[in-house]
Amino acid sequence: MADKHTNLIVSAAPHVCNPTDTATIMRDVVIALIPALAVSTYVFGIRAILMTVICAAACVFFEWASRKIMHRENTIGDWSAIVTGVILAFNLPVGMPFWMAIIGCFVAIVVVKQIFGGLGQNFANPAIVGRIALFIGFATPMTTWSVTKNMSQAIINNAGVDAVTGATPLAMWNAGAELPSNLEMFLGTINGSLGEVSALALLIGGIYLVVRKVISPAIPCAFIGTVAVLSLIMGFDPIFQVCAGGVMLGAIFMATDYVTSPITTSGRIIFGIGCGIITMLIRAYASYPEGVSFAILLMNILTPHIDSITRSKLNGVEKKGAKK
Partner 1 sequence: MSSGKHLKGVHVNHSKNTAGMPIIPMPVPERVYIPMSMHIGAPCQPVVAKGDHVKVGQLIGDCDKPVSAPIHSSVSGDVESIEQFMTQNGRVDTNIVIKTDGKQEIAETVVPPVINSREDFIKAVRASGLVGLGGASFPMSIKYNTKPGQVDTLILNGAECEPYITVDHAAMLAYAQDMVDGMRTIMKWLDIPRGIIGIESNKPDAIAKFNEILAGSTDISVCTLRQVYPQGAERVIIYECTGRHLIAGKLPADVGCIVSNVTSVLKLQQFLTTGMPLTTKFLTVDGNIVAKPQNVEVPIGTMICDLIEHCGGLTGEVKKILLGGPMMGRAIPRDDFAILKSNNAVLCFDEKFAAQRKETACINCGRCVAGCPMNLMPARLSRAFKDKDIDALREYNVMSCMDCGCCAYSCPARKQLNFEIKQAKTLVMEDDKKKKAKAEAAAAKEAAKAAEAEAAKAAAEAKEGGNK
Partner 2 sequence: MKKSKLQILTNGIIKENPVLVLVLGTCPTLAISTQAINGIGMGACVLVVLTCSNIIISALKKIIPDTVRIPCYITVIATFVTIVQLVLKAYAPALDKALGVYIPLIVVNCIILGRAEAFANKNSVVDSALDGIGMGLGYTLTATVMACIRELIGSGTLFGATITANLFSPFTILIMAPGGFFVFGCLIALVNKLTKGKVKEKRVNKCLTCPGAEFCNEVQEGGCDK
Partner 3 sequence: MSLTAAFYIVLSAIITNNYVLSKFLGICPFLGVSKKLDNAMGMSVAVIIVMVVATAVTWPIQTYLLDPNGIGYMQTIVFILVIAALVQMIEIFLKKYIPALHKALGIYLPLITTNCAVLGVCVLNIDNEYNFLQSILNSFGSGVGFTVAMFLFAGVRSKIETNDYPEAFKGIASTLVAASITSLCFLGFSGMLEKIFGM
The reply to whether 124 sits near partner 3 by the rule CB under 8 A is yes
SS3 12: coil
Alpha-carbon distance of 25 to 213, in angstroms, equals 9
Alpha-carbon distance of 28 to 114, in angstroms, equals 23
Cα–Cα distances (Å) from 200 to 52, 188, 196, 205, 250, in that order, read 19, 7, 10, 9, 14
Q: Which is nearer to partner 1, 71 or 320 (CB)?
A: 320
The reply to whether 78 sits near partner 1 by the rule CB under 8 A is yes
- Please pick, from the candidates 178, 319, 322, 324, the single residue that binds partner 1 as defined by CB under 8 A: 319
- Please pick, from the candidates 25, 39, 55, 296, the single residue that binds partner 1 as defined by CB under 8 A: 25
Determine contact, residues 250/88, Cβ cutoff 8 Å: no
Q: Which is nearer to partner 1, 24 or 143 (CB)?
A: 24
Contacts of 89 (CB under 8 A, 6+ apart): 51, 52, 54, 55, 56, 101, 194, 195
**Which segments of the chain does DSSP mark as H helices, in order?**
22-44, 47-69, 80-90, 98-106, 126-137, 139-142, 151-157, 169-175, 182-187, 199-211, 218-234, 238-243, 247-249, 265-285, 292-309, 317-323
Alpha-carbon distance of 90 to 51, in angstroms, equals 9
- Please pick, from the candidates 140, 317, 321, 322, the single residue that binds partner 1 as defined by CB under 8 A: 317
Select the binding partner of residue 305 from partner 3, partner 1, partner 2, none (C-beta < 5 to 8 A, by kind): partner 3
The reply to whether 117 sits near partner 3 by the rule CB under 8 A is yes
Which residues are near partner 2 by CB under 8 A?
99-100, 103, 111, 133, 136-141
- Please pick, from the candidates 61, 64, 98, 116, the single residue that binds partner 3 as defined by CB under 8 A: 116
SS3 198: coil
The footprint of partner 3 on residues 62-81 (CB under 8 A) is 70
Select the binding partner of residue 116 from partner 2, partner 3, partner 1, none (C-beta < 5 to 8 A, by kind): partner 3
Select the binding partner of residue 316 from partner 1, partner 3, partner 2, none (C-beta < 5 to 8 A, by kind): partner 1
Contacts of 310 (CB under 8 A, 6+ apart): 262, 264, 266, 267, 270
Alpha-carbon distance of 177 to 237, in angstroms, equals 14
Min CB(71)–partner 3 separation in Å: 9
Q: Which is nearer to partner 1, 122 or 193 (CB)?
A: 122
Select the binding partner of residue 293 from partner 2, partner 1, partner 3, none (C-beta < 5 to 8 A, by kind): partner 3
The reply to whether 175 sits near partner 3 by the rule CB under 8 A is no
- What's the DSSP call for residue 264? S
The reply to whether 263 sits near partner 3 by the rule CB under 8 A is no
Tell me phi and psi for residue 265, to 5 degrees.
Answer: -65, -45
SS3 306: helix
Alpha-carbon distance of 301 to 206, in angstroms, equals 24
Q: How many residues bind partner 1 (CB under 8 A)?
A: 46
Alpha-carbon distance of 245 to 266, in angstroms, equals 26
Q: Which is nearer to partner 3, 117 or 160 (CB)?
A: 117
Cα–Cα distances (Å) from 40 to 193, 195, 199, in that order, read 9, 6, 11
Min CB(253)–partner 1 separation in Å: 15
Select the binding partner of residue 141 from partner 3, partner 2, partner 1, none (C-beta < 5 to 8 A, by kind): partner 2
Min CB(292)–partner 1 separation in Å: 21
The contact set with partner 1 (CB under 8 A) reads 1-18, 20-22, 24-25, 75, 78, 80, 118-121, 216, 258-261, 263-264, 311-317, 319-320
The contact set with partner 3 (CB under 8 A) reads 70, 111-112, 114-118, 121, 123-124, 129, 132-133, 136, 278, 281-282, 285-288, 291, 293-295, 297-298, 301-305
